Homo-oligomer: A and B are copies of this chain.
Amino acid sequence: MPELNQHPENEHQQPSGATRRQFLRGAGTAGAAGVAGLTVMGLGGCAEGAQTSDIRPGQGSAEPGDNDFLAKARVPFDGPHQAGVDTPQQSFIKLIAFNLKESKTSREDVIRLMRLWTDDARRMCSGLAGLADLEPENLESTANLTITVGYGRSLLDKIGLSDKAPEWLGDLPEFSRDELVDAWNGGDICLQICADDRFTLSHAARFMTKTARTYVDVAWMQDGFLHARGSIEPGTTPRNLFGQLDGTANPAPDEHDDIIWINDGPEWLRGGTAMVIRRVAMLMDEWDILDRASREVAMGRTIDTGAPLTGTDEFDDPDFEALDQYGLPVIDPNSHMARAFSTDRSERIYRRPYNYDMPPGPDTRGTSNSGQIFICFQKNPLKQFVPIQQRLDEADRLNEWITHIGSAVFAVPHGTNEGDYWGQDLLEG
């Protein structure tokens, strides 16, 4: 990996001696910036939004009290890791998968595309318009825009770099309950674009697609959302469309190096990560008629506070051994939490999911076309995502109300230094 400009904001420092629980609690309050050593990009920045500091000189940062505090909220583009992975979740996501056009499958074509794209992405995330953008006004608000690239197995195969692919890059093993639809599967290249403003997101996505149109075709596009900035306290766990607090047991920043970031193998992936995307339809009609107690049993957590059924606070550790008055486990061993929980600590994943809710279409189930764009990051999906999903596939009370309909895996190369382009040491290696 080339030497990088180490922006202090990009370093993840952990408040010394803080437990994950304390850490998360701190982040859940407006005073997150006050937690010793909490870093801008790691959590405090986007959580406070406007406090995301600006890496370009001469551009001020705004305060949350400002009426346009999102306008100048920026996440640094360059750094050892790409932004958009452990960046606190913005309100909106657009995932776009592309396939190389048949006439553009040489390594030089991909280098050209990556140069153009990296330049545009870097410019837009810093509040400059993309190169030759005739509508710079559409980027008036950066709104914590991040643009992250990932490469599919098929990309490396097409451009003759199969030998540089990690073993985990490719289709996931089939799970028994999968009902995958071709339209949501795979892709040569993926862009994950996130922002706190749907309009900014739209323009950035459009601009990236346009830049690329002589090289690639769009394979699929997924639109997702969370609560708006201003609706819940920054750092608070957001709810999914089943009404559940979703994200509670995610690894804390001091665990990211162990769980997310690759630190061996091919150079181009050191500092990078593996991205798994599963489109999961949620069967709202069936969920709707389920009583509250059954919903809580299915998850192993309460709906209101998100606490495990053996605790009272969202961040209490679950007690899987606890028995109720009849001698039965308080947390159902087939609840989603119990099945997803890994006693093997090397098996964990970093989840970054979004809700989707679409007009009626081919994926409509009953009266809804909604669900979760499940996204997770890890060093190795075969060792982390797969064993978890195997347990869930086998037995998870939630299965009655969810169906996996799309699947893709992408290798996310390490971050860039100013002037570098995405995947440079893969493509030039």
A residues with a Cβ closer than 8 A to B are 30, 49, 64-65, 67-71, 91-92, 134-135, 137-138, 140-141, 143, 196-200, 202-203, 205-206, 209-210, 213, 218, 220-223, 225-234, 238-239, 241-243, 284-285, 288, 290-292, 295, 303-304, 355, 357-361, 367-368, 370
Contact = CB atoms under 8 A, between A and B. Distances in A.
B71 A231 contact: yes
B232 A71 contact: yes
Contacts of A227: 141, 197-200
A292 B132 CA distance: 11
Contacts of A225: 198-199, 202
A137 B243 contact: yes
A240 to B, nearest CB: 9
B243 A135 contact: yes
Contact of A67 (B30, B92, B138, B238): B30
B199 A231 contact: yes
Nearest to A222: B359
Nearest to A141: B231
Stoichiometry, as copies per complex, reads 2
A202 B357 contact: yes
User: 8 smallest A-B Cβ distances: which pairs?
Assistant: A65-B65, A141-B231, A135-B243, A221-B359, A70-B230, A197-B228, A198-B225, A202-B357
Contacts of A199: 225-228, 231, 238-239, 355
A422 to B, nearest CB: 21
A304 B228 contact: no
Contacts of A304: 137
Nearest to A226: B199
A67 B243 CA distance: 21
Contacts of A213: 367
A68 B232 contact: yes
A317 to B, nearest CB: 23
A206 B69 contact: no
A290 B134 CA distance: 8
Nearest to A362: B361
A232 B67 CA distance: 7
Given A228-B143, A230-B229, A367 B197 contact: no
Given A137-B239, A199-B239, A227-B199, A67 B234 contact: yes
A210 B290 CA distance: 14
Contacts of A355: 199, 202
A134 B243 CA distance: 9
A225 B367 CA distance: 23
A68 B220 contact: no
A56 B70 CA distance: 31
A286 B108 CA distance: 28
A223 B91 contact: no
A220 B64 CA distance: 38
12 contacts: A64-B65, A67-B234, A138-B241, A198-B225, A199-B226, A199-B228, A199-B238, A202-B225, A202-B355, A202-B357, A203-B241, A206-B357
Contacts of A230: 49, 67-71, 143, 196-197, 229-230
A198 B91 contact: yes
Contacts of A295: 134
Contacts of A359: 220-223
B232 A229 contact: no
Contact of A370 (B30, B206, B222, B229): B206
A358 B358 CA distance: 10
Contacts of A67: 30, 64, 230, 233-234
Contacts of A200: 227-228, 231
A288 B208 CA distance: 13
B370 A202 contact: yes
